[in-house]
């Protein structure tokens, strides 16, 4: 799932080298992913009215559900 988020984020931003993802596991089947991009690319990842970020969260939820897990995506400033 980490690679999935990284793939999407790197194709959205102008500086793909500035994309970093940190994975934290909460409970036994809950994972929290923190996405950090360079300052000038934050708007591209969030999108207008947060629609791009919401779409990424929806895709991540679907991928996690197929594996029987729960996943949360946080976008850091």
CB 24 within 8 A of CB 34: yes
Torsion sign, CA atoms 64, 66, 67, 69: positive
Domain count, the chain: 1
Structure confidence at residue 25 (pLDDT): 87
Domain range for 46 is 2-76
pLDDT tens-place string over residues 17-62: 999 999 998 777 899 999 999 999 999 999 999 999 999 999 999 9
Kindly report the CATH number assigned to the domain that includes residue 31: 3.30.300.20
Give the pLDDT of residue 27: 77
Cβ distance 72 to 30 under 8 Å?
yes
**Looking at residue 39, what is its pLDDT?**
92
């Amino acid at each position: 799932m980490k690679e999935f988020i990284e793939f999407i984020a790197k194709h959205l931003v102008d500086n793909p080298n500035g994309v970093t993802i940190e994975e934290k596991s909460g409970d036994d089947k809950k994972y929290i992913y923190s996405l950090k991009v360079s300052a000038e690319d934050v708007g591209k990842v969030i999108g207008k009215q947060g629609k791009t970020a919401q779409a990424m969260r929806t895709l991540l939820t679907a991928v996690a559900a197929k594996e029987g897990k729960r996943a949360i995506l946080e976008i850091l400033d």
